Each structure stands twice: as structure tokens, then as C-alpha cells.
């Protein structure tokens, strides 16, 4: 297919027919995303903003308006779920957007949620990352939905992408079902959370702005000014009890999560690192109604339950272990300060920081080995096996104390099982 700057026509592309979408009442979602989003308003300047930023980038790079070829596919495929829409969009559009950004002198790429150690909170379907050394934070998030954008079933999707944008301080986001994309910009005041939106149809009547032009323009806008200041913290204090695990209430068969406003979590996004189904990052829990340096410093373990429902089950199991081993909290396992649900998107543990993991290449002397075995023995004496005793799950404080972390595989066992001896070997 041929296209040209600055209008970037996008015509001879592969068609993707959406299968009929089933009502959300027929799905089995673990929770429904509900954020503090209050209003949607038209992004009236969107076409001009996009055209202007592309013109500027074209002139800066000295690129001519001569048509050039981009690789596209022809034909028609049927997609009906988020993964299928994302896979189609990555090949049919996002690779082209990244290539054009390279022409402008900005190297980057769209990454998937499990693409390595990224500083991303939650698991958006795709994120634009600049290919700059040491830069690990998304500048733009994309979410796909099989439902009609801005239709009845899209309310969950709008809350979900707004949540990702807010968690990661992103100003811009894209909600897509491939046939129609909603381009979003956060516009917040101290008393109102708003998304500005502009709808672009793949083969719509508005020929002044193609899906390709809108996509390239959004990435350019994000590269120029991606950061949206964190929202102001609400004055509502976090509930507490005298129990160190004050975020939990005993239910009939499990410990209930307490809903908490995201504004109270105070994530340090730059510290985020990805696990298999969760992200780990530093943050603070407020000790009172005000915001101060005496707020409790914690490690957050956050699972995006909309993407990783199995991860939510692992987290639930880990909470049960922390409660069963409460007498070991602060001694050989971290203290559990809270168990929360954030906007129906994240399930979060707030844990005591216990130093750094023992490195794979670090020499373990007899003193350190003794402390590691002593910590593990405490868990065994309580009738549990840890289940994953790699070095990464032994942490050491500055004072030399050793803690075991990541208890999601920890389980109760009979004390005479050989598995206990195997762990201690």
C-alpha cells in the first residue's frame, strides 16, 4: 500500500470482521472496573492537533510529501475477542506506525503486557515504549474490546483504559475494536475527572483523518507530552484496626478485600517491575488524613485481575498463608499491612519492605546460608512448605536479617513429608 505525509491515507488494508459480541451479562468477569471517571467530552481540536503535530515532525525530519510504500495485508479475517483484535492491529497498523515514527527519528515499539521488565502498573493490551536506554515506562496505552466503542457494553472498557492511564500517569490512550478507535486524552481538574474523546472509523466518511494518521499523531503527541500529573489525594482516611493486617476482614471461607481509592496508594511507578502475573513496586500508605513523610513505606504486589484471573487466585492463596503465619510476620516473612481492591482492576497486597533479593551470582557464605535455612525452618515448623525457594525469594535487609517472600505457592503439609527435607537440602 502507498501512503504519504502528512495525511497518511490508509486504504488498502486487511479487513477484520467482528464476530457478534455477547452481552457482558453472559461473561464471567472476576470484577467490573469502576474508577473515578466522571465525564466524557468531545475532543474537538483532535483533527487539528493531529495534523499539526505530524506537520511539525515532517518538517523537522525534512521528509518530502512523496508517496512511499508500507507493507500491508489484503483480504478479510474474522476476529471476535480482544486477543484476536490485538494480534490483527499489531500486524496491520502498529508496526506501520512504529516504522513511520522511525522515519521521524523516534525509535519505539508497541509492547504486550508480558514483554519483559517494564515499569507498567496493570496490564494494558499494548503500550507504546520509546527505544531509549533505561526508559521503561509507557507513554501511551492501548486497550482492545470486541464490543462497539462508545456503545452500551463499552462502559467497562472505558473505565479499564482510564484506570491504566491513571495508574501510569498517561495523558493519552486508545480504545479500539479495529473498526472504530476512540482516541482519548485525560483532562482533570481538582474536582472533576474527565476524558476527552474523538472517534475515528476505519472506513468512515471523514476522509480528512485516517486510522493511520490518527495513530501516528497520537504517538507523536504522547512523545511530546505523555505525562499527566497524578490526581490529588482524597482526604478520606484508610480504615485501620489494631491488627497489622488491617486490610482484611474474615469471611466465611476467605479473607475479604477492602476497596481502596487509588489516590491513597501513592505508587512509585518508576520502581515497578513485572512478574509472571503481577507487578511489584514501592509506594506509601497514609498514616492519617494528611500527606506526609511519616506515611508507611510499603511494597505493593498488584495483580491485574481483568487480565490475570488466575493471578487473583494465587494472591488470595498468598493472603491465607500470611494470615496462617501471622506469628512469623516481621520475623522471617514480611508483615502484611493490607489487602485491597483498586477500582475493580487491581488486587493489591501492601507488604513490609525487607531488603533486596539475594543475587544469583552472589557467594553465599556459611553465615548467610545459616540465616536462610533458619528462616525456612520457621516456615517448616509452622507446618508449611514454601514451594519456590529460589534465591530471588530470599531477601536480606541492610541489618543482615533474612526474609522469605512470594508465598503464593506456600502450602500446609504434614511435617513428615520428604518435601520438607528436599527444600532444606
pLDDT at 148: 67
Considering the four listed CATH numbers 1.20.950, 3.90.1570, 3.40.50, 1.10.287, the one that applies to the domain covering 39-225 is 3.90.1570
User: For residues 250 and 266, what is the distance between their CA atoms, to the nearest angstrom?
Assistant: 26
> Tens digit of pLDDT per residue, the chain (425 long)?
889 999 999 986 666 666 654 433 334 455 689 999 999 999 999 999 999 999 999 999 999 999 988 887 666 666 667 788 888 888 889 999 999 999 999 999 999 887 767 889 999 999 999 887 667 889 999 999 877 655 655 788 999 999 999 999 999 999 998 888 999 999 876 667 899 999 999 877 777 899 999 999 999 999 999 887 765 544 444 443 334 344 444 444 456 789 998 888 899 988 998 888 899 999 998 876 555 566 899 999 999 999 999 999 999 999 999 999 999 999 999 999 999 999 999 999 999 999 999 998 899 999 999 999 999 999 999 999 999 988 999 999 999 999 999 999 999 988 777 777 778 76
Domain borders along the chain are 39-225, 258-351, 356-424
- State the helix-helix crossing angle for 46-61 and 211-224, rounded to 10 degrees: 70
b/e burial code for range 254-276 (CB count within 10 A of at least 16 → b): ebebeebbbbbbbbebeebebee
Handedness of CA 263, 265, 269, 272 (dihedral sign): negative
pTM of the entire predicted model: 0.88
Q: Is 119 left (phi over 0), alpha (psi -120 to 50) or beta?
A: beta
pLDDT at 263: 84
Closest among 391, 361, 364 to 376, alpha carbons compared: 391
The CA-based angle 142-199-190, given to 5 degrees, is 70
Q: List the grid coordinates of 9.
A: 491515507
pLDDT at 425: 64
> Contact 328/263 with Cβ under 8 angstroms?
no
Strand residue runs (E) in 277-360: 279-285, 296-304, 336-342, 346-351, 356-357
Q: How far is CA 288 from CA 48, 96, 150, 298, 341, in A?
A: 46, 50, 39, 15, 20
pLDDT at 402: 97
User: For residues 289 and 298, what is the distance between their CA atoms, to the nearest angstrom?
Assistant: 18
The fold of 356-424 is Transferase(Phosphotransferase); domain 1 (1.10.510)
pLDDT at 345: 96
SS3 assignment, position 72: coil
pLDDT at 261: 87
CATH 3.30.200.20 fits 258-351, yes or no: yes
Handedness of CA 155, 161, 162, 164 (dihedral sign): positive
Amino acid at each position: 500500500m502507498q501512503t504519504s505525509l502528512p495525511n497518511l491515507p490508509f486504504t488498502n488494508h486487511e479487513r477484520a470482521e467482528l464476530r457478534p459480541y455477547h452481552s457482558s451479562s453472559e461473561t464471567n468477569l472476576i470484577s467490573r472496573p469502576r474508577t473515578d471517571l466522571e465525564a466524557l467530552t468531545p475532543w474537538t481540536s483532535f483533527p487539528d492537533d493531529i495534523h499539526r503535530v505530524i506537520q511539525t515532525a515532517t518538517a523537522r525530519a525534512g521528509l518530502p510529501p512523496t508517496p512511499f510504500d508500507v507493507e500491508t495485508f489484503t483480504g478479510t479475517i474474522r476476529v471476535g475477542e480482544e486477543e484476536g483484535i490485538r494480534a490483527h492491529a499489531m500486524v496491520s497498523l502498529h508496526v506501520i506506525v512504529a516504522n513511520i515514527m522511525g522515519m521521524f527519528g523516534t525509535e519505539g515499539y508497541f509492547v504486550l503486557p508480558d514483554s519483559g521488565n517494564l515499569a507498567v502498573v496493570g496490564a494494558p493490551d499494548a503500550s507504546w515504549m520509546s527505544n531509549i536506554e533505561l526508559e521503561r515506562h509507557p507513554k501511551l496505552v492501548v486497550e482492545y474490546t470486541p464490543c462497539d466503542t462508545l456503545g452500551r457494553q463499552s462502559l467497562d472498557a472505558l473505565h479499564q483504559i482510564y484506570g491504566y492511564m491513571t495508574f501510569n500517569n498517561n495523558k493519552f490512550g486508545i480504545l479500539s475494536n479495529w473498526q472504530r478507535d476512540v482516541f482519548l486524552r485525560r483532562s482533570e481538574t481538582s474536582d472533576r475527572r474527565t476524558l476527552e474523546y474523538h472517534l475515528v472509523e476505519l472506513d468512515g466518511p471523514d476522509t480528512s483523518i485516517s486510522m493511520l494518521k490518527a495513530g501516528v499523531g497520537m504517538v507523536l503527541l504522547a512523545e511530546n507530552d505523555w505525562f499527566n500529573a497524578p490526581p490529588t489525594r482524597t482526604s478520606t482516611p484508610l480504615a485501620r484496626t489494631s491488627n497489622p493486617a488491617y486490610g482484611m476482614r474474615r469471611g466465611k471461607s476467605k479473607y475479604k478485600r477492602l476497596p481502596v481509592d487509588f489516590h491513597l496508594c501513592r505508587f512509585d511507578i518508576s520502581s515497578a517491575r513485572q512478574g509472571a502475573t503481577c507487578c511489584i513496586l514501592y509506594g506509601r500508605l497514609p498514616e492519617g488524613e494528611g500527606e506526609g513523610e511519616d506515611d508507611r513505606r510499603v511494597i505493593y504486589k498488584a495483580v491485574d485481575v481483568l487480565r490475570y484471573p488466575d493471578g487473583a487466585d494465587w494472591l488470595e492463596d498468598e493472603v491465607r498463608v500470611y494470615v496462617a503465619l501471622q506469628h512469623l510476620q516481621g520475623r522471617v516473612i514480611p508483615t502484611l499491612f493490607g489487602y485491597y481492591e483498586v477500582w475493580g482492576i487491581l488486587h493489591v497486597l501492601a507488604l513490609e519492605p525487607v531488603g533486596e533479593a539475594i543475587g544469583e551470582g552472589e557467594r553465599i557464605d556459611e553465615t548467610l546460608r545459616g540465616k536462610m535455612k533458619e528462616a525456612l525452618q520457621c516456615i517448616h515448623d509452622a507446618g508449611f512448605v514454601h514451594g519456590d525457594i529460589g534465591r530471588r525469594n530470599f531477601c536480606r535487609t541492610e541489618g543482615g536479617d533474612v526474609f522469605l517472600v512470594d508465598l503464593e505457592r506456600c502450602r500446609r503439609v504434614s511435617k513428615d513429608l520428604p518435601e520438607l527435607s528436599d527444600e532444606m537440602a
